[in-house]
Chains A and B, each alone.
Chain A
C-alpha cells in the first residue's frame, strides 16, 4: 500500500488523483481550517504574547513574552488544583466507563429480555441536555435531598456537593451515568464483529462464561476500547458544565474547578485571553500525551 502510494505520488497534481473528490472534500477542509486549525494556531500565538481582544482598528501593543504566561499559570495554585481535580475525575471516570459500558453492552448483546427498553434507558441520559439533568442531581444529592434522606445517619457531612473530598467523585459518577449510553453503543457495534465461531470453539474447549468474556470478548473489542479510552479522556479533560452548575462553579472552595472552567473565567470574564490560552495549550498537550499513552498501552502486543 505504502509502496504504491510512493510510486504514484510524483505524477499526481497537487489536487490529487481525483479532482472531483478533492472538490467534494473542500468545503469540509475549509470548515476545519476556519473553525479549528486557524483558531488553534491563533491560540498558540496568543499564549506567547501579552494579548487582549480589542475593538476592530484599536491597536494595543501585544509584545512577545516567551513563556511568561505559562509561568504565570503554572505558579497559580488554582490552576494546579484544577489539573489535579481533572486527574481525580479521570481516575474514576475512565475505568468506570470502560468496565461498565463493556459489561452492560455484553449483557445487552446476550439476548436478555426487554433489550430495547434497556437500550433506551441507557441512551436517554446521553441525549438529554446536561443542564436539565444537573437540576435533578442537585435535588438528589443536596443536603436535604433524596440520597441523604435514604442514607439517614450514613449521609456524608458536609453533604456530597459541598464536601471537598466528594464533589469531584460525585461529578465523575454523574458524567459516567450520563455518557454511558454512548459508549455502550460503541461496544454493541464492536460486539457484532466478533465471529460467533470464536465463542463456539471456546465453549468446545470448556471455557466458562467468565473465561469467554475475558479471552474472547475483551480482546475482540480492543480497538473499540482504545477509542472509548481516548474519547473518555478528551471528554473528561474538557469538563465544564457539571462543575459550573452542579457544584456552583467549581466549589466547594475550588475542589471541583477544572482547567476549562478557569479558561472561561480568565479568558471570557476577566479578559485575559493570554493566560487562558496558556492553560488551553497545557490541556492540549496533556490530553495528547494521555491519549497516546492509552492507545500505546492498549496496543496488541
Chain B
C-alpha cells in the first residue's frame, strides 16, 4: 500500500516537472515575431513537383538579390494532410514564416489558435491584396481582415476521357452534356454501352473536403455563386440545393457513380469516363488519357456557370521572427513575373485581375488552359466561417447518408444539415 503511494508520489512529482518544463516555454510569446524584423526566413511549399520547381526558382532569384535576408524553402512536413502538419506546427511554435498551400476552410481555426499574422496590419497589406486579386477577394477575409493572400485557383470543371466518350457514341469534341438531363442521358449511354464501368467517379469517402468535388461546384453553378453559408446561415436548403442533391442521388442510385472508392486512379484505369478536376489535372493526365473539359452541368445548361475555385493561398505565421522580410518576399513571389512563372510551371491560375490579358501569350500558346482562365472570372470558394471543418463534416455525413447511400431522403438531408450547420456558424 505504502509502496504504491510512494510510486504515485514519484510519478506525480515527475509529471509536475514535465508540466513545468512544457509550461515554461509558453512565456516567449507566439506573437514574439517582429512585424518590422528583417533577416533570414523559412517557407513551406506543397509537395506538388511543379510547384516545388517554381518555388525553388523564385527563392533562388530572391536570394541572389538579398544576401542578408536569405529564404530557405522546404516541403510541408509529411502528415495525413498539410492542414494537420500546419496545426501541429502552430501548436508547437515551429511554424515557418510563410506557407504556400493554405486552404480557406482551415484559416478560421488557425486564427482562433493565434497562429496567423493579420496581413491587413501591414501598411500596404489590404491595398496590395485587393489590387492584385480584385474586390472579390474580400470573401477570403476572416473577422474583416486578411489572414491569407488569395494566391491561385484551380477552377473545377468536368474532365472527360475523349476515347471513352467516342466509344460510347458521344461527340468527344462537343458532348452536349450541359444540363442535368443531358448529363444523366450521356452518363447512362456511357455505362450501358460498356464504354466504361461508371460515368463519373467522385470519391465517395467521408472526408470533410469531398463535397468540394461533387456537390459544391454544381451548387455554385446552379445558384450563380451562392456559397454554402452566407450571412451566418446555411443557404442550400433551397430549390437549387435540392435539384443538385437529387441529380447526384440519381447518379448513385442508377449506378452511374459508384458508392465504393476506386482502388486505383479511375480516370487512368479507364473505369470511369469523367472526373471533376482543375487545371492541375491536364499535366497529370497528359501521358495517359486524352482528356477534354466542359463546364460543370446545371439545370439551365448555361455556358458561363460558376464553379468551385479550389484556391490555395499564402499565410504568414505568428512564429515568424522576420515578418518584414516575409512580407517583402510574399509580394515578390506574387508579383506579375512570379505569377507568370507559376502559370507556366504548374498550369494553375494566379488569382489576379485580368488574368487572360496579362498572360495572353501563354493562353494563346496553350489553348486547353484558356477555358480555365475564363472560368476564373466565375468562381467562389468555401465561405470564411467559424468551425468551417466541422460544418463541412456535418454536410458530408448527411450528404453521404441521403445522396450516396440513399438511407434518408434528400429533404431530410437538407433540413437536418441546415439546422445543424446554422447551430455551428451562429454559435
A161 to B113, CA, bound (A): 38
- B337 part of interface (Cβ distance < 8 Å): no
B113 in complex: contacting residue of A52, A162, A249, CB < 8 Å: A52
Cross-interface CB contact of B397 among A139, A161, A164, A254, cutoff 8 Å? A254
Scoring A78, A139, A248, A254 by chain B CB atoms within 10 A of each residue's CB, the highest score goes to A248
Q: Are A253 and B405 in contact (CB under 8 A)?
A: yes
B61 at the interface (CB under 8 A from A): no
Our pick among B15, B197, B204, B401 for the contact of A254 (Cβ within 8 Å) is B401
In chain B, residues 27-80, which have Cβ atoms closer than 8 Å to a Cβ of chain A? 27-32, 80
Pick from A57, A78, A138: contact of B263, CB below 8 A.
A138
Is A251 interfacial (CB 8 A cutoff)? Answer: yes
B261 interfacial by beta-carbon distance below 8 Å? yes
Cβ contact within 8 Å between A271 and B18: no
Determine the chain B residues whose CB is within 8 A of the CB of A203 once the complex forms. Answer: none
- B386 CB, nearest partner CB in chain A, Å: 11
Interface residue stretch chosen among A33-41, A187-195, A288-296: A33-41
CA of A229 to CA of B222 in the docked complex: distance in angstroms? Answer: 55
Q: Mark the stretch among A92-100, A117-125, A217-225, A262-270 that contacts chain B.
A: A262-270
Q: Using A53-B91, A57-B30 as known contacts, say yes or no to A9 and B2 having CB atoms under 8 A apart.
A: yes
Chain A residue numbers with a CB within 8 Å of B317 are: 55
Q: How far is the CB of B1 from chain A (nearest CB, A)?
A: 8
B19 and A57 within 8 A (CB) = no
Question: Contact: A30 with B14, CB < 8 Å?
Answer: yes
Q: Which of A30, A252, A268, A272 contacts B400 (CB 8 A)?
A: A252
The answer to whether A271 touches B31 (Cβ under 8 A) is: no
Q: How many residues of A contact B (CB 8 A)?
A: 44
How many angstroms from the CA of A34 to the CA of B15 in the assembled complex?
7
Contacts of A142 in B (CB 8 A): 260, 263
Provide the residues of chain B in CB contact with A144, threshold 8 Å: 197
List residues of chain A with CB within 8 A of the CB of B90: 53-55
Does the CB pair A139–B263 fall under 8 Å? yes
Residues of A within 8 A of B400 (CB): 251-254
Q: Known contacts A33-B11, A253-B405, A254-B401; is A56 also within 8 Å of B3 by CB?
A: no
Residue A127, interface by CB 8 Å: no
Check B84 against A248 for contact (C-beta < 8 Å): no
Indicate if the CB atoms of A14 and B260 lie closer than 8 Å: no
Residue ID in chain A nearest B8 by CB atoms: A37
Is the beta-carbon distance between A58 and B113 smaller than 8 angstroms? yes
Measured between alpha carbons, how far is A9 from B3 in the docked complex, in Å? 8
Q: Which of A169-227 contact B (CB under 8 A)?
A: none
Check if B172 is an interface residue, CB within 8 A of chain A. no
Besides the contacts A52-B113, A143-B259, what 8 more A-B pairs have beta carbons closer than 8 Å?
Answer: A55-B115, A57-B28, A57-B32, A58-B114, A78-B397, A138-B263, A159-B260, A251-B405
Q: Please provide the 7 A-B residue pairs with the shortest distance between their CB atoms, ordered closest to farther.
A: A58-B114, A55-B30, A249-B206, A57-B29, A248-B205, A56-B93, A57-B30
Q: Which residues of B contact A (CB under 8 A)?
A: 2-3, 6, 10-11, 14-15, 18-19, 25-32, 80, 83-84, 87, 90-93, 95, 109, 112-115, 197, 203-208, 258-261, 263, 317-319, 387, 389-390, 393, 397, 400-401, 404-405, 407
